[in-house]
């Protein structure tokens, strides 16, 4: 993990390897604490990061050598998450059909991401996927 922090409201990570999902989740939790987010907002942020990064490995075809880049920024009303990685493109904001949620819970994490986000944008640039997610904090729903 290569963290880069200029202040408590910004975190940049470059991760790879078997522990990427765990490291990304712990980093999001630490970011939330340093940014003094409410407990519920910090928990939602950690879950969103965990779900999106896990989906990269489960469905995007990433391997242990691929680099996942994560940037978190906060302002008084929202946290922005910028996630870039190689792999198959998928848009976590697209509606999921009921058939996308089998009995084992498939798709449930993406439903949380969708429900908790103000916006989710996906683009693919130079063979890398880029997801920009905006999560409300504070008194927003």
**pLDDT (tens digit per residue) in 113-124:** 889 999 999 888
| Residue 1 domain-assigned (yes or no) | no
Tokens 């050598």 belong to: 65
Confirm whether 40 is domain-assigned: yes
Residue 88 within any structural domain of the chain: yes
* CA–CA gap between residue 80 and residue 71 (Å, rounded): 8
pLDDT surpassing 50 at residue 110: yes
Q: Please state the pTM of the whole predicted model.
A: 0.83
The CATH number covering residue 51 comes to: 3.30.565.10
Residue 3 lies in a domain: no
Has residue 82 been placed in a domain? yes
Range of the domain at 67: 10-136
Instruction: Tell me if 24 is assigned to some domain.
Output: yes
Is residue 91 a contact partner of residue 122, using CB atoms and an 8 Å limit? yes
Total structural domains within the chain: 1
Q: How confident is the model at residue 101 (pLDDT cuts 50, 70, 90)?
A: very low
pLDDT in tens, 23-64: 999 999 999 999 999 999 999 999 999 999 988 888 788 888
Q: Is residue 126 scored above 70 in pLDDT?
A: yes
| pLDDT score, position 138 | 85
Residue 87 Ramachandran class (φ > 0 left, ψ -120 to 50 alpha, else beta): left
Residue 5: pLDDT band by 50, 70, 90 thresholds?
Answer: very low
pLDDT above 80 for 132: yes
Task: Report if residue 47 sits inside a domain.
Answer: yes
């Amino acid at each position: 993990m290569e963290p880069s922090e200029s202040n408590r409201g910004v975190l940049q990570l470059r991760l790879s390897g078997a522990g990427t999902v765990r490291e990304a989740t712990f980093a999001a939790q630490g970011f939330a604490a340093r940014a003094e987010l409410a407990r519920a907002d910090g928990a939602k942020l950690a879950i969103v990061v965990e779900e999106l990064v896990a989906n990269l490995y489960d469905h995007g075809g990433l391997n242990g050598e691929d680099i996942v880049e994560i940037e978190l920024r906060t302002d008084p009303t929202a946290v922005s998450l910028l996630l870039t990685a190689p792999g198959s493109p998928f848009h976590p904001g697209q509606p999921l059909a009921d058939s996308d949620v089998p009995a084992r819970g498939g798709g449930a994490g993406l439903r949380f991401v969708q429900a908790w986000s103000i916006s989710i944008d996906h683009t693919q640039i130079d063979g890398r996927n880029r997801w920009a997610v905006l999560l409300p904090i504070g008194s927003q729903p």
